[in-house]
Structure 1
Amino acid sequence: MCLLDPLSEYMHRIEDVMSEVRAQRLAFTSMLKEAVLMSLDQMRTESETMLEATEIQLTSLQTVQQLFVRMKDASPMDAEILAAEVIRELGGEFAEELPIVEKKSDPKEYQQAPQEQQCVSPENENIRKDLLFFRSISQRIDSICPYWDARSGILLEFCLRLNHYLDTPVDATQLSTAVLLHDLGMSFVPREILNKNSKLSPLEEKEIKRHVDVSYEWVFRIPHWQDAAEIIYQHHERPDGNGYPRQLGSEQICNGAKVLALADTFFAITNERADRSYKRSLLRATKEINSYAGSQFDMDTVLAFNQMIKDQYSKKSTSTS
């Protein structure tokens, strides 16, 4: 039990501040909300680390814990300053580059491709027609889930932008097809499973995972799109070998699948889903992606993602200044 003591004490200090909020002695401002949510994210990450390696990085936890101790009895103005310190402590370099609290912003703003990449215009007329057809199919796929409004288009723009930042970019037409059709197999999953707002049973999880095989088989049988099919087949694989369906290692996973895996997760955590009604801010989402670099996501792809996000926000800041 002593192994859990640091996490228990950490949680108590956060709860002390929330008690002040409930007693209306502190306002639950956007800054404080972000500080609390990032602190809970960090606790989850440290808990997973503890389960895997039976050790916890105490330095950051202790620093954050002391900031919450001071916040409990602070004035409203000082509490805001301390909350910002929590965010900077946990956000690291991203807290310096990205907005601590976003005002009237939408993570989708950071997912738009440069104008020159928004339309892939292959010379081959058949390929062009295929892409138009695939886009129409993707719109049908988006309609099967109430949380997927315009999802395929957003993912496509995100992936094409991220592809631009890779040292070795993926063929844009193959990547586009993979993005548009990667969840084609979800069309065959019962709606009550796809939109279930509670934990899936083992059989239901197996049914969800089958979508990869179905999507792959459909796309592989279409002439010219075998590379796209392989991206689809691998987009739930992980560098640490804990993905599916083949438990591939990092070197075995193609770059397109690494891009799609990151984009798919970024969309999921910055938008509402059937099993949760909240979404993460850009700062929290970026930090979460980085927390799983090398395990869930390819390290080089994460580095490219970081640069993309920083560049996009830098351009946004310049245009509004």
Structure 2
Amino acid sequence: MSDNVFEDFQALDEEILTDFFASIEENKDTIEDMVESIEQVGLSDEKFIEIFRHLHSFKGNLNVCFLDPLVPVIHHLESIMRRVRDKELPYNLSFGTLVLDTVENVYNFMCSISKKQEVDMNNIGEWVNVLLHLERCTSDNFEAECLKMNGQEAPQVDHEHDESDSPEIFQLFSTFASLIDKLGHFKHAHSRRQAKLALAMNLQLNKPCDDTQLLAAVYMHNFGMAFIPHEFFDASGNTSDRQQLVQRALDTTLKLMNLFPEWAEATKMIEQHMENFDGTGYPNHLEGDNIHIGSKMIAILDKFLSQTHAVEQQHRRKTLFSAVSEINQLQGSHFDPEIVEVFNAVVREAISNKDNLFE
């Protein structure tokens, strides 16, 4: 190969590249659908077969189109999937997230290569090493290692509460979020994207929020919106009526969350996530430091992702930088200026690392 190991791929005819990306996107979407279906209704041989089929197709297309350095990433992911299928390793939500992230990362890497953007070849080696490590895990440490690879700690349960209940409830929150994502108002994996951004902001702030409580709030704050009529999401209509519907949705969510006292901090974040920094929000017109810091993060991310990742009315979707610009314009009124600066830092770091959070 020449100094540019991807020049053969970049030299492909435009029609071939278009066909290639259409096939890859079909593989990617199907894998995503199967993983989310497993999380919602459980494992089945048919779903594993479908994932394998599309991973094979993904890998074959990479090979045919001269993207050989990316092939080992998918190959080792297949090997782990095979061990899970054969019951040598347990399937868990963190592994599902890892599958989605790996496929998404490879896809974004390909997009960068096709645009002749500079790419870091070391990242490919790092991905392969991560997958090799997981491939060699035992059933006892597999879930913990998956959590580490996803950049999360395992959910910590308050020992004053029933340890047997909380992990299942947390998984239920994640499942609810996936179901709400599928309503069609947002792109696939909306809640995962928001969760990653929230964790990154929390880390930048030296973790003022418990990560697990923050994730529960991210997953559940839109729960009540599942009961709002679909036409509500059209921007037209009476503002007062819309606010009443949103308040009703929030009340529905809080009634559910109040059933679980161990998630009190998450519940508080949810209750306050529509408050504005200047006191003009609702339901209680809180302002400044009276608003939970987790609520402030969720408010910013809700605004950002609603502008950049809404499925409907795509002509109204904003670019990354126009959305970031609007977030900054609203600091001091809707948003806490300090949290906006943290959001800016997370965006800057993601751009620098060619992260996939904004795809």
When normalised by structure 2's length, the TM-score is: 0.53
Instruction: Report the residue type matching 2:329 in the other structure.
Output: S
1:126-177 per-residue CA deviation (whole Å, 9 max, x = no partner) reads 4332221211111112222343432111111111111111145211111010
Q: Distance in 2 between matches of 1:116 and 1:290?
A: 32
1:24-50 per-residue CA deviation (whole Å, 9 max, x = no partner) reads xxxxxxxxxxxxxxxxxxxxxxxxxxx
Instruction: Report deviation, 1:237.
Output: 0.4
Quote the sequence identity (%): 30
Q: Distance in 2 between matches of 1:187 and 1:215?
A: 10
Q: Of 293, 297, 303, which aligns to 2:341?
A: 303
2:178 aligned partner: 139
Q: Given the superposition, is the C-alpha separation of residues 201 and 263 from structure 1 closer, same or farther in structure 2, using an over 3 Å criterion?
A: closer
Q: Does structure 1 conserve the Cα–Cα contact (< 8 Å) formed by 2:177 and 2:191?
A: yes
1:121 aligned partner: 154
Q: Does structure 1 conserve the Cα–Cα contact (< 8 Å) formed by 2:185 and 2:310?
A: no
1:237-270 per-residue CA deviation (whole Å, 9 max, x = no partner) reads 0111111111101111001101111111110111
Q: Of 244, 255, 278, which aligns to 1:217?
A: 255
1:160 aligned partner: 199
Instruction: Report deviation, 1:271.
Output: 2.0
1:212-242 per-residue CA deviation (whole Å, 9 max, x = no partner) reads 2221221122130111111001001011111
Instruction: Report deviation, 1:204.
Output: 3.6
1:315 aligned partner: 353
Aligned residue pair count: 207
Instruction: Report the residue type matching 1:299 in the other structure.
Output: P
Q: RCO higher in 1 or 2 (8 Å CA, sep ≥ 6)?
A: 1
Unaligned segments of structure 2, at least 5 residues: 1-111, 116-146, 158-162
Q: Given the superposition, is the C-alpha separation of residues 209 and 274 from structure 1 closer, same or farther in structure 2, using an over 3 Å criterion?
A: farther
1:198 aligned partner: 236
Instruction: Report deviation, 1:200.
Output: 4.0
Q: Given the superposition, is the C-alpha separation of residues 249 and 120 from structure 1 closer, same or farther in structure 2, using an over 3 Å criterion?
A: same
1:174-199 per-residue CA deviation (whole Å, 9 max, x = no partner) reads 10100000011112212232x33533
Secondary structure of 2:274's counterpart equals coil
Q: Of 253, 275, 284, which aligns to 2:291?
A: 253
Q: Does structure 1 conserve the Cα–Cα contact (< 8 Å) formed by 2:308 and 2:318?
A: yes
Q: Given the superposition, is the C-alpha separation of residues 148 and 215 from structure 1 closer, same or farther in structure 2, using an over 3 Å criterion?
A: farther
Instruction: Report the residue type matching 1:226 in the other structure.
Output: A
Q: Does structure 1 conserve the Cα–Cα contact (< 8 Å) formed by 2:181 and 2:191?
A: yes
Instruction: Report deviation, 1:118.
Output: 4.2
Instruction: Report the residue type matching 2:259 in the other structure.
Output: R
Q: Given the superposition, is the C-alpha separation of residues 120 and 275 from structure 1 closer, same or farther in structure 2, using an over 3 Å criterion?
A: same
Q: Of 147, 151, 160, which aligns to 2:190?
A: 151
2:209 aligned partner: 170
What are the equivalent positions in structure 2 for 1:1-321 lying under 5 Å apart? Answer: 116=149, 118-124=151-157, 126-193=165-232, 195-196=233-234, 198-200=236-238, 202-272=240-310, 274=312, 277-316=315-354
Q: Distance in 1 between matches of 2:338 and 2:277?
A: 11
Q: Does structure 2 conserve the Cα–Cα contact (< 8 Å) formed by 1:197 and 1:275?
A: no
Secondary structure of 2:349's counterpart equals helix
Q: Distance in 1 between matches of 2:227 and 2:236?
A: 20
Instruction: Report the residue type matching 2:226 in the other structure.
Output: S
Q: Given the superposition, is the C-alpha separation of residues 263 and 226 from structure 1 closer, same or farther in structure 2, using an over 3 Å criterion?
A: same
Unaligned segments of structure 1, at least 5 residues: 1-101, 105-113
